């Protein structure tokens, strides 16, 4: 009987693959294991099986793909750039009760400007870098700039995961306005238009008009909802609050597509854009006392007339690792910008697949080669930054608008006249390099791991939201945990009290067990995690968030297992024993 069931499943899967090929074309349906691997394996974590990877080229094709998948009763994982860090856009192992189809959306990269560019409507494959480039000529910018855009992250990824980013005033990526597919409790696929734009009644007509940007002025409701979290700038200023400023389990910032974690089939999101800052000023601080930076944070948030643009923290160890293992990333971005990086990453992945098949080349050969080549690049960091690295353990980069520069300048002079540490005002080139170096740190741990496979087990990566009133923000680990770690990388969005903590674990130690030993300490501190990378398959979502996911996806057919929930159809509890 088991064999008969397996044969039936195999036949149904083959029929579905044929139907998907008819919808999008044979070339855009991948089934061979090597070809699907880049889509089944996460950027930093996660890997599993999949029946197929399908790449629709239009919203109507995506709708038809979802219809076919829902009718066939398979799992759908919606995937954009696959740059997430917690495995939330890839399968997790092989413990699912149904076949999986990954719907990879990066062929649909259209962005429509509305309201003279004050808002945008983005389709599934639009990237942050693409949006940033489109808005620059009209003097505007998206919610997030640089950082994730360096590796081709999608707009949808940020919205779906409440990604926060570095910009202090804007909070997590958020919108009330989206166009999405949802499966009803009866198992029927429905199209929901909450874009605030009248597009008709027939699903395929709605999707064609959304793709074409067919938005007459009379069709746009300018009061349909918020295109960003417009209360965050006030929220983050409350430095005496006993709760974090932003974290993924905050139900106030979960609404339909925003924070959906792939539990809906998104087709379009409508977002606010922002006036670009002209001639911002960057101040660079160094100190050996954490209280000095905490006093800076509290004063800036509570007393400054104008909030800074960004405030980024970098520990000396992260500085050093990024200087060595993020050097090629830094240099390449300085040379060619971010727009060509997605293509370069695709080439790198293709090369690694070939190298793996050859067999005699070492694992992660491209990383090893690039690390070797980086030794021939000239020194890339300014002398003043390197001097501060030698003298100070803790570094803070503060970016302010031109209108807020004098207030920041006066305060920092006064503050460091009576406190340990120093600061300097960056030249425009130094400021750009300081922030780029900070963001290079995010990938440096991965490079370190890939180059040192003989001594490293893997990476434990935490993104932690500390309480807004927490003065003891710098982590001190127990010795038994410290002994299992080779290097720790601490960096983060300091004014928001969101810290990224990457631990490179020594060979032979259990990374999952080590992480579980770390979490109770964070709980005792009142921290919340994850802060902005979302739960993926690494973190357990609290019950109220799981209830939200069940409301979005009552059949558990979109991205099951997120937040370590059951992977079974209709949210049936996992069997025990």
Q: Is 196 annotated as a binding residue?
A: no
Q: Is 458 annotated as a binding residue?
A: no
Q: Is 12 annotated as a binding residue?
A: no
Q: Is 266 annotated as a binding residue?
A: yes
**Distance between CA atoms of residues 324 and 398, nearest Å:** 23
Q: Is 165 annotated as a binding residue?
A: no
Q: Cα 465 to chain center, whole Å?
A: 15
Burial 244-268 (b: 16+ CB within 10 A, else e): bbbbbbbeebbbbbbbbbbbbbbbb
Q: Is 84 annotated as a binding residue?
A: yes
Q: Is 25 annotated as a binding residue?
A: no
Q: Is 248 annotated as a binding residue?
A: no
Omega before residue 530 within 30° of 0, cis: yes
Q: Is 157 annotated as a binding residue?
A: no
Q: Are 284 and 388 in contact (CB under 8 A)?
A: yes
Please list, in sequence order, all residues whose beta carbon lies within 8 angstroms of the beta carbon of residue 492, skipping any fewer than 6 positions away.
312, 313, 463, 498, 499, 500, 501
**Distance between CA atoms of residues 468 and 263, nearest Å:** 30
SS3 309: coil
The strand pair at 422-425 and 75-79 is best described as: unpaired
The strand pair at 52-54 and 100-104 is best described as: parallel
The number of beta carbons lying within 10 Å of the beta carbon of residue 390 is 8
**Distance between CA atoms of residues 185 and 169, nearest Å:** 39
Q: Is 154 annotated as a binding residue?
A: yes
Token pair, residue 393, equals: 């353990």
Q: Are 258 and 159 in contact (CB under 8 A)?
A: yes
Token pair, residue 104, equals: 């990879």
The CA-CA-CA angle for residues 541, 184, 187, to 5°, reads: 105
Which runs of consecutive H residues, i.e. helices, occur in 213-262? 232-235
Q: Is 80 annotated as a binding residue?
A: yes
Complete DSSP assignment for 102-155: EEE-TT---EEEEGGGTEEEE-TT-BHHHHHHHHGGGTEE-S--SGGGGGT-BH
Output the known binding site for FAD. Answer: 80-84, 88-89, 147, 154, 164, 266
Output the known binding site. Answer: 80-84, 88-89, 147, 154, 164, 266
């Amino acid at each position: 009987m088991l064999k008969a069931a397996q044969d039936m499943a195999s036949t149904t899967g083959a029929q579905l693959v044929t139907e998907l090929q008819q919808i999008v074309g044979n070339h855009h349906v991948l089934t061979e294991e090597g070809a699907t691997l880049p889509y089944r394996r996460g950027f930093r974590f996660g890997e599993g099986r999949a029946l197929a990877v399908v790449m629709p080229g239009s919203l109507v094709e995506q709708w038809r793909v979802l219809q076919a998948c829902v009718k066939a009763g398979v799992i759908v994982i919606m995937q954009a750039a696959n740059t997430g860090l917690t495995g939330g856009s890839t399968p997790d192992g092989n413990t699912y009760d149904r076949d999986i189809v990954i719907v990879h959306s990066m062929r649909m990269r259209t962005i429509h400007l509305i309201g003279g560019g004050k808002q945008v409507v983005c389709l599934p494959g639009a990237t942050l870098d693409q949006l940033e480039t489109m808005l620059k000529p009209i003097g505007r910018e998206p919610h997030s700039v640089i950082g994730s855009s360096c590796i081709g992250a999608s707009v949808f990824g940020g919205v779906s995961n409440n990604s926060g980013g570095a910009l202090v005033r804007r909070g997590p990526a958020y919108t009330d306005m989206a166009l999405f597919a949802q499966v009803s409790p009866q198992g029927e696929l429905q199209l929901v238009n909450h874009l605030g734009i009248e597009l008709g009644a027939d699903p395929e007509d709605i999707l064609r008009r959304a793709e074409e940007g067919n938005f007459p002025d009379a069709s746009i409701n300018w009061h349909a909802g918020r295109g960003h979290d417009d209360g965050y700038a006030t929220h983050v200023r409350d430095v005496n609050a006993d709760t974090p400023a932003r974290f993924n389990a905050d139900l106030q910032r979960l609404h339909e597509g925003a924070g959906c974690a792939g539990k809906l089939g998104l087709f379009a999101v409508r977002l606010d854009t922002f006036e670009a800052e002209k001639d911002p000023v960057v101040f660079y601080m160094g100190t050996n006392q954490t209280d000095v930076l905490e006093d800076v944070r509290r004063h800036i948030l509570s007393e400054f007339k104008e909030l800074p643009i960004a405030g980024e923290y970098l520990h000396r160890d992260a500085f050093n690792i990024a200087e060595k293992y993020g050097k090629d990333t830094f240099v390449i971005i300085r040379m060619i910008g971010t727009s060509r990086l997605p293509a370069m990453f695709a080439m790198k992945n293709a090369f690694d697949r070939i190298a793996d098949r050859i067999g005699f080349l070492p694992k992660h050969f491209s990383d090893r080669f690039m690390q070797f080549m980086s030794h021939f690049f000239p020194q890339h960091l300014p002398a003043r930054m390197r001097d501060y690295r030698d003298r100070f353990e803790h570094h803070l980069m503060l970016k302010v608008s031109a209108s807020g520069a004098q207030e920041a300048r006066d305060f920092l002079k006064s503050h460091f006249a009576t406190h340990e540490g120093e600061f300097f005002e960056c030249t425009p080139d130094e400021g750009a390099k300081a922030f780029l170096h900070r963001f290079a740190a995010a990938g440096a741990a991965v490079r370190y791991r890939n180059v040192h496979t003989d001594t490293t087990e893997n990476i434990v990566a935490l993104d932690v939201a500390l309480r807004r009133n927490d003065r003891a923000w710098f982590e001190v680990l127990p010795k038994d945990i410290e002994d299992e770690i080779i290097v720790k990388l601490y960096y983060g969005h300091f004014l928001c009290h969101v810290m990224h903590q990457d631990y490179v674990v020594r060979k032979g130690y259990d990374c999952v067990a080590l992480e579980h030993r770390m979490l109770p300490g964070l709980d005792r501190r009142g921290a919340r995690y994850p802060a902005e990378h979302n739960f993926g398959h690494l973190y357990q979502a609290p019950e109220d968030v799981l209830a939200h996911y069940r409301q979005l996806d009552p059949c558990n057919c979109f991205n099951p297992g997120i937040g370590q929930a059951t992977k079974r159809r209709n949210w049936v509890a996992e069997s025990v024993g």
